[in-house]
Amino acid sequence: MSENIKVLSPEGVVGIESCNDLRVQLLQAFDTADPVLLNFAHIERIDLSFVQLLYAGVREARIRGIGFRFNGEVSKEVGEYLVTGGFCKEVPAQARELENNLVELQDK
Amino acid sequence: MLDKFQESFREEAYELLNDLERILLILEDQPESQEDIAAVFRVMHTVKGSAGMFGFTEVARFAHEVESTLDAVRNGRIPVTPQLVSLTLEARDHIREMLDEPASAGVKFTAVSDELIERFRAHVAPATEPAGLGIQEPETSLQELTGEEENGSSQNDAPNKDVSQAKTASDADEMLGETKEHAHPVTYRIAFKPGESILLNGTNPVLLLDELAEMGELSAIAYTEAIPPLSRLEPENCFVAWDLLLTTKKGRTAVRDVFMFVEDDSELTVEIIDEPEGDEHDHEYRRLGQILVDRGFVEAGKVESIAVRQQRLGEMLVEGGVDPRRIEAALAEQEHVERSRKKLQNELSSASVRVSSEKLDDLVDLVGELVTLQARLMQTAVHVGHSGLTLVSESFDRLATELRDNTMSLRMVPIGTTFSKFKRLVRDLSHELGKQVEIKTIGAETELDKSVIDRLNDPLVHLIRNSMDHGIEKPADRAAAAKPIEAQILLKAEHSGATVVVTVEDDGAGLNRERIRARAEQRGIITPGQELTNTDIDELLFSPGFSTSENVTSVSGRGVGMDVVRREIEGLGGTVAIHSTPGKGTSIQLVIPLTLAIIEGLLVQVGEAMYVFPLSSVGECIELNHQDRLNNGKRHFVANRGEVLPYVVLRDVFSVSGNEPDIEQIVVVSAQGEDIGFVVDEVIGDHQTVIKNLGRLYRHIEGISGATILGDGSVALILDVQKLCSLAKREHHVSH
């Protein structure tokens, strides 16, 4: 059986201005697809709104038993933001490294 | 007379004002940078607060007013404009002056303060009045900071009392402890829970963490469990909290200041959890259980009951229902402190101490004496012919050389300390002259003797002013010449043997040689129509009082400049060279010796007299048959490596009597871009030359820059090679 994949590819600065739209898209994707892929390749910068969305998304997917995967390269700015904020220990090069390395989301 | 606390504050304030200048210059290029706006505000806030605490009431009053304007900028009520940056730079200079002369701060500076305050108010008024927004008072009032009543003592008092709020020395110590840097890094635990609306207020809390990270070593533990489920999440609200571990020398005030703008809406505690005192940092840091109890996560009894089971405490506490994230945070704290202590231990093993430059000068003098004595010992050993004594003398010689090199290296400081001042100079002159100029620096880490660096400042100021005023074109002229509107000045330093080459280069119009020639003819420096090469014309710039400027401006045109530059640099034993290409720009090269205290020299003899050439300027030594020289008559040339080498007979220059040897020596030196020979009787060899100043009577003898004492106690004169070459040219001892 083929998978019903949904890919979300936010672009540029993903922060307080755009996160609510992304949240709605994510909820719709969780309702209709499995797995849901979040592509980091076009994200240049983020703020805390996006990080919160990421955490809420991972938890939501786990509750629903849906695959929520990250892919694409992580920009230097995004990686450093996550490390400075204490959300991961090392700057990730690839988004898939984040799947199991966001603090408080490991090994669950 | 300032007390030790006020002195301590002043030192800190100077550093803050230097930071302020640097940040303002960045802000001018990046006026939207919230980070820099916040940094400028914080500096002014800290200056105001500390000045009030330590009795600099006029500084506090003035800083308070400036802070009010900066507060309006921070809140987005007025934008950062070049005018505001200029005004704030003026304010910074004014504070610096008040700190320099605290005794007259109340009388001398009040009028200037008031005038500047009026300009700040006028700057804010047009932007805020239409919207009905006046200047809001910053969070802390001046009275709170100075401890003065509303109708209390005059704010213009000089700091003629002890720290104004401190009733006792220990109070003052405590105040300083809050604001002053610690001698060794301490570790803070900062619990930070931002208010939910922090993101909506435009604050990015992770940038605050970034600022903390710049202060030292930061470990951040984020707590994300409060983030609501996706369906209920409002991403524009903040649900994350942090435990932060910061190891830094900064005082608690500086740490808290990072949160200055968010503190009111956030939960914040800042506590020192580890304060190693030098060698007392090797004891074990608190155990995991103790950290958890201190943080209030676990009851002490629970830890004790689990600990007796002799298993891994963390695992057992998790089994016992303690949140694993709390244990992880405690472990992170343990790890952070241990890592910081290890780092401190490493740093302490190679720790530095601050020593006054006078003490260093004394040390250099003593080493100089030692080197002189060593030369005497060596000579005595050779004279006595005792092999044991010779062996000891040789070992002593090696040690003395090493000691000399080490001592000299202590006085070396990076030239970047001087370079950084010129950014402000270029910025101010750009505004004054209506030109756009960027200054770039290369080799700021290049080290030079402190005394040389101190004397290099004025020549460099002259060169940069000249470049800005005469060299660099107006923007319209640059555009017409298809050049970028923004001109560049490059300030470069690099080592070259025993010298440092400092270059000031611009991409301006280059020297206008026709105008230089015309002005020189007009002033009678040269005769009309006199045949001159480009180099000769460029050299005219160094004539005393020479200027091509039609008008005297505050920047240049007074004819005081290039000749002073050359005199200063030659006074340092260095040289100045100028290279210019019309339309492309001008480059001025200063070649300066690394040090003025002890040099490697070449000792020579003429008759009974001994002379020293600085070894750095000597290229080679060649023989000259005395009879050949006599046969040449007044034509002082020899062929050397296929080139004609002009020479000067040192015996003639200093009127030395006595017989000349059959075979003489020519010491070939490079000076002013040419090779010139100096004829001497004998080359004795290299010599560690401790430079002694000549007495007042002999200070102005041309061609001699100092003296040194030889091993037998006799005196050798140190030759000023540059000056001798100029003299030789002038008096036709050398002619091409």
Residue A85: which of B206, B229, B233 has the nearest Cβ?
B206
Same domain, B385 and B328: no
Which positions in chain A touch B315 (Cβ < 8 Å)? none
B410, with CB counted inside 10 A (0-12, 13-18, 19+), is middle
B231·A27 Cβ contact <8 A:
yes
CATH superfamily of A6-99: STAS domain (3.30.750.24)
DSSP 3-state of B496: strand
pLDDT band at B153 (very low <50, low <70, confident <90, very high): very low
Buried b (16+ CB within 10 A) or exposed e, B581-594: eeeebbbbbbbbbb
Distance of CA B411 to the CA centre of its chain: 14
- Boundary of a domain, candidates B551, B577, B593: B593
In single-letter form, the type of residue at position B522 comes to Q
| Residue B320 belongs to a domain | yes
In a domain, B562, yes or no: yes
Asked if A60 reaches chain B (Cβ–Cβ under 8 Å), the answer is yes
* Mean pLDDT on B567-588: 88
Task: Copy the structure tokens of residue B707.
Answer: 């003296």
Q: Are residues B293 and B391 in the same domain?
A: no
A10-24, B14-28, B497-511, B684-698: which is most confident = A10-24
Joined tokens for residue B449: 């003797």
- pLDDT 10s digits, B129-152: 443 334 444 544 455 544 444 443
What number is the average pLDDT over the span B284-298?
A: 69
The reported pLDDT for the residue numbered B485 is 93
Closest CA to B17 of B31, B169, B461, B56: B56
Instruction: Give Cα separations from B93 to B88, B89, B468, B508 (angstroms).
Output: 9, 6, 22, 30
What's B103's DSSP letter? Answer: G
As a whole number, the mean pLDDT across chain B is: 80
Comparing CA positions, the residue from B685, B501, B718 lying closest to residue B614 is: B718
For residue B657, the enclosing domain spans 598-730
Which tokens hold the place of A1? 């059986």
| Integer Cα distance of B450 and B453 in angstroms | 5
Domain range list for chain A: 6-99
What is the ipTM, given to two decimal places?
0.94
Q: Which chain B residues have a beta carbon less than 8 Å from that of A49?
A: 199, 235-236
What pLDDT, on a 0 to 100 scale, did the predictor assign at position B146?
47
pLDDT tens digits, B72-85: 888 778 889 988 99
Q: Is residue B62 part of a domain?
A: yes
Please tell me whether residues B325 and B386 are part of one structural domain: no
With an 8 Å Cβ cutoff, are A19 and B213 in contact? no
Give pLDDT, residue B201: 78
Q: How far apart are CA B363 and CA B409, in angstroms?
A: 12
A1: distance to nearest CA of chain B, Å?
Answer: 29
Residue B181 domain flag: no
Least confident of B171-175, B212-216, B315-319, B723-727: B171-175
Does B406 lie in the same domain as B419?
Answer: no
Contacts of B199 in chain A (CB under 8 A): 16, 47-49
Q: What is the DSSP letter of A94?
A: B
Q: Residues B496-527: pLDDT tens digits?
A: 766 788 999 999 999 989 989 988 888 888 88
Whether B619 and B655 share a structural domain? yes
Mean pLDDT of B214-218: 89
Contacts B242 to A, Cβ<8 Å: 85-86
Q: Are residues B557 and B480 in the same domain?
A: yes
Q: Kind of pairing, strands A36-39 and A68-71?
A: parallel
**B329 and B392 fall within a common domain:** no
Asked whether the predicted pLDDT for residue B128 surpasses 90, the reply is: no
Asked if residue B602 and residue B504 are part of one domain, the reply reads no
Identify the domain boundary among B176, B209, B238: B176
Counted domains in chain B: 5
Using a CB-CB cut-off of 8 Å, the residues of chain A touching B222 are 85-87, 103-104
The answer to whether B430 touches B436, Cβ cutoff 8 Å, is yes
Within a domain: residue B620? yes
pLDDT exceeding 90 applies to what percent of chain B? 21
Q: Which domain CATH number covers B50?
A: 1.20.120.160
Which A positions 66-95 lie with beta carbon below 8 A of chain B? 81, 84-87
pLDDT at B443 over 50: yes
The dihedral through the CA atoms of B26, B28, B33, B38 has a sign that is positive
pLDDT single digits (tens) B380-427: 888 898 888 999 999 998 898 888 888 878 878 888 877 877 888 898
Comparing B338 with B65, the larger pLDDT belongs to B65
d(CA B314, CA B289): 8
Report which of residues B179 and B15 the model is more confident about: B15
Q: How far is CA B122 from CA A96, B24, B74, in A?
A: 55, 20, 17
Nearest to B444 by CA among B430, B429, B460: B460
| Bridge partners (DSSP) listed for residue B638 | B645
Distance CA B20, CA B692 (A): 42
pLDDT digits (tens, 9 = 90+) for B362-385: 888 888 888 888 888 888 888 898
- Compute the radius of gyration of chain B from its Cα atoms: 34
B716 close to B707: Cβ distance less than 8 angstroms: yes
CB contact under 8 A, B242 and A86: yes
CB count within 10 Å of CB B395 equals 10
Report the pLDDT averaged over residues A13-42: 93
Asked if residue B160 has pLDDT above 60, the reply is no
Nearest to B37 by CA among B20, B59, B13: B20
CA distance B591 to B494: 10
Q: Cα(B487)–Cα(B479) distance, rounded to whole angstroms?
A: 11
pLDDT higher than threshold 80 for residue B116: yes
Please indicate, yes or no, whether residues B700 and B684 belong to a single structural domain of this protein.
Answer: yes
Q: Tell me: do B550 and B624 sit in the same domain.
A: no
Provide the pLDDT for residue B347.
Answer: 63
Residue B736 lies inside a defined structural domain of this protein: no
| Angstroms from B325 CA to nearest CA on chain A | 7
Q: Do both B206 and B111 map to the same domain?
A: no
Same domain, B447 and B571: yes
Task: Report CB contact under 8 Å: A85, B200.
Answer: no
Last residue of a domain, one of B561, B593, B625: B593
Q: Is residue B710 part of a domain?
A: yes
Closest alpha carbon to B598 in B251, B415, B365: B365
Rounded to a whole number, what is the distance in Å from the CA of B242 to chain A's nearest CA?
8
User: Choosing among A104, A105, A106, A108, which should be mutated to test the B contact, i.e. which has the most B CBs within 10 A?
Assistant: A104
Question: Contacts of residue B213 in chain A, CB cutoff 8 Å?
Answer: 84
Cα→Cα distances B54→A82, B18, B91, B251, Å: 41, 20, 20, 16
